[in-house]
Chains A and B, each alone.
Chain A
Amino acid sequence: MKKQITEQQLQQLGRQLLEQSVDTLDESVSIGLKKARQHALQSQPKPSFIPQWSGAFAVIMVLFVIVWMGYETPVITDELMLVEDMIQIEETQELINDIEFYQWLEQRGELV
């Protein structure tokens, strides 16, 4: 009469066999599994430190600054003051008005 194996024995035997088969995996499979693991881990999407909405935010900020700057009174630099002085001086204004005449004189050598 054939010996009937119980379900528990079968499970135990199966587990034993499979654990044994795992322990005896050859080197090439272990290397293959290691490569697969590393490849998978490297593919993990890295969340960026910069939030996704930061691009839109940056654009809005730039637009805001541009608009705001448009209403800003210009900073008065030395160069601007010089130009202003030149415009205000009557003689200079006259010089600018007659610039073509003075250029003509210069060409003729009569200015010196």
Chain B
Amino acid sequence: MNNIEINEQALEVFFKAIEKRAFRIAEFAISDRDEALDLIQNSMLKLVQRYADRDENEWTLLFYRILQNEIKDWKRKAWVRGWFGFIDSETEWIEDKSVQACPDRLVHQDAISSAMHTAIKQLPWRQQQAFLLRSWEGLNVKQTAKVMTCTTGSVKTHYSRAVTFLRKQLAEGEL
């Protein structure tokens, strides 16, 4: 077995391990299932084409960094569409689609999960991503800062605000 095959196998294992969580993170950010899938595919492509030869330990950070850029670009395009007056109806459609297209969300059956899910979705994007990357993906402050291309101070601020908001929301739900 040559190095290329080993590398391909390692990449496949890596993607299998990370893809579902990454998909949820993207879906949280843009509220559109199909678009989230596209962003994941683009991120995978870029990782394979540009960074496949890098050390495996770097892949997680690189992948999430690419994904963050993809999300940022998507939001920028959505903003431009909105600027030219095409977004109002589309935003509504995206939100509706997100809710309707997720029959698998058994989490909604659970009140706590549902409240948490809603609260996370309500977070501003950067706070949401800081919270998800840190609490779910287990990245530390420094790693999160690399992924989000900001300072560790900003990550701490985003994360702290996210936690404060979520606690408030969940407490209001009397959980």
Q: Which of B128-165 contact A (CB under 8 A)?
A: 131-132, 135-136, 163
- Interchain CB contact under 8 A, B171 and A2: yes
- Interchain CB contact under 8 A, B107 and A5: no
- Interchain CB contact under 8 A, A14 and B8: no
| Given A2-B172, A5-B167, A10-B166, A36-B40 contact (CB < 8 Å) | yes
- Interchain CB contact under 8 A, A33 and B37: yes
| Given A21-B24, A36-B44, A44-B11 contact (CB < 8 Å) | yes
- Interchain CB contact under 8 A, B107 and A36: no
- Interchain CB contact under 8 A, B8 and A41: yes
Neighbour of A41 across the interface among B11, B40, B106, B112, CB < 8 A: B11
- Interchain CB contact under 8 A, B175 and A3: yes
Indicate whether A61 reaches chain B with its CB closer than 8 angstroms. Answer: no
Chain A interface: which of B15-23, B73-81, B85-93?
B15-23
What number of B residues sit within 8 Å (CB to CB) of A? 45
Contacts of B117 in A (CB 8 A): 17, 21
Contacts of B132 in A (CB 8 A): 14, 18
- Interchain CB contact under 8 A, B113 and A17: yes
Neighbour of B4 across the interface among A18, A24, A47, CB < 8 A: A47
Q: Which of A13-40 contact B (CB under 8 A)?
A: 13-18, 20-22, 24-26, 29-30, 32-33, 35-37, 39-40
Indicate whether A54 reaches chain B with its CB closer than 8 angstroms. Answer: no
Q: How far is the CA of A5 from the CA of B24 in the complex (A)?
A: 24
- Interchain CB contact under 8 A, B105 and A14: no
Q: Identify whether the interface residues of B are mostly helix, strand, loop, or mixed.
A: helix
Indicate whether A45 reaches chain B with its CB closer than 8 angstroms. Answer: yes
Indicate whether B58 reaches chain A with its CB closer than 8 angstroms. Answer: no
16 pairs, CB–CB < 8 Å, chain A vs chain B: A3-B171, A5-B167, A10-B135, A13-B116, A17-B113, A18-B132, A18-B136, A20-B107, A29-B104, A35-B41, A36-B41, A40-B45, A43-B45, A43-B49, A44-B49, A47-B4
**B contact residues vs A (CB 8 Å cutoff):** 4, 7-8, 11-12, 15-16, 19-21, 23-24, 33, 37, 40-41, 44-45, 47-49, 52, 102-107, 112-113, 116-117, 120, 131-132, 135-136, 163, 166-167, 170-172, 174-175
